[in-house]
Amino acid sequence: MSTTGHDQQSVEQLPGRTADVNEAATLAGDELLGGIFDELALVRIATDLSKMRMSYSTHDLAASIALNVLKSASPPNRRDALAQMTVREWCREGKVAPALVRAFDKQSLP
């Protein structure tokens, strides 16, 4: 997923920010959301989330992007389960905070 041509106002370079916004949007789009969501929309969500007063790793930000997108999708579908499994694996690998796994667990409840 390419994000060329999109000015994200150097958010990833703000003090205290460790997440790579473009990489997080790519991870969310390709690995968590199955490549079916608009890449520019994912970059915008990533940029908005990264502006919050929270420090994200790139994988944390990717999981947060996917949660944001999946919250508006209804009813829960196969993408939810695939994203949840991937986020659990990332947690086992130490790439995301356990709180994000819990958020995905809550998201997938009927």
Of 65, 63, 110, the closest CA to residue 89 belongs to 63
Provide the pLDDT confidence category of residue 9 given band limits of 50, 70 and 90: very low
Provide the pLDDT confidence category of residue 4 given band limits of 50, 70 and 90: very low
47-64 pLDDT, tens per residue? Answer: 998 888 677 789 999 999
Q: Which helix (H) or strand (E) holds 42?
A: helix 39-50
Q: Are 22 and 8 in contact (CB under 8 A)?
A: yes
- Mean pLDDT score across all residues of the chain: 79
Q: Are 28 and 19 in contact (CB under 8 A)?
A: no
Above 50 in pLDDT, residue 2?
no
Question: In the prediction, which pLDDT does 16 show?
Answer: 53
Percent above pLDDT 70 for the chain: 75
Residue 16 phi/psi, 5-degree rounding, is 85, -5
- Alpha-carbon gap, residue 76 to 105, rounded angstroms: 12
pTM value?
0.76
